[in-house]
Structure 1
Amino acid sequence: MHCRGNRRRHDVRLLGALLLALGALCMTKPASAQMYDPRYPVCMHVYGELVGDRMDCIFASIRQCQASAVGIPATCLVNPFYAPRPAHPGRPER
């Protein structure tokens, strides 16, 4: 009988630890992808129930973004994470 009591206590502790771990896991946020693509200077923030809410950073200029945004609920904005590529030096002249 004494062994049964210890085993039951162990099982209850294990169950409590598992529930605590599961609760902690449920409270964590999922990792999110980079919202702004640093390769492009302009982003379009698209929003609304029909098209969803997203950030499209695929534009070279505000004008290009505005032309693409016609007819959809969107706003064009400067990409705060834009990182232009360094210019490649040309061939040295001889």
Structure 2
Amino acid sequence: MRILAFATLAIGTVSIAPAAAQTYNPAYPVCLHVYTRGANYYECRYTSLPQCNMSASGRAAQCVINPYFGSTPVPAGRRYRHVY
């Protein structure tokens, strides 16, 4: 009886609300926000704004800066002085 109760609880929990997919890809600094009738979505696969603007040209789309971009880490080693 317990197994049936746990199985029912597990199936009910999974089917209540679908999980949303990750919107932004943290590997690229620029995203294309595409506006459609059904749903809006982001394509985060651009390395620069001009590259994204070429893809957005003629479409209902807009280029935005990726707020979750994981910039390249600073290499470890010798620290350099900034000369002003």
Aligned residues: 76
Question: 2: CA distance between counterparts of 1:79 and 1:62?
Answer: 11
The CA RMSD measured in Å over matched residues stands at: 3.2
Q: TM-score, normalised by structure 1?
A: 0.58
Name the % identity.
36
Query: Which consecutive unaligned segments of at least 5 residues does structure 2 have?
Result: 77-84
Query: Which consecutive unaligned segments of at least 5 residues does structure 1 have?
Result: 1-16, 90-94
> Aligned to 1:35, which of 23, 31, 42?
23
Larger proportion of helix: 1
Q: TM-score, normalised by structure 2?
A: 0.64
Name the larger-Rg structure.
1
- What is the CA-CA distance between 1:84 and the residue it aligns to? 1.6
Matched, 1:81 2:72: no
Question: 1: CA distance between counterparts of 2:57 and 2:68?
Answer: 25
- What is the CA-CA distance between 1:53 and the residue it aligns to? 2.0
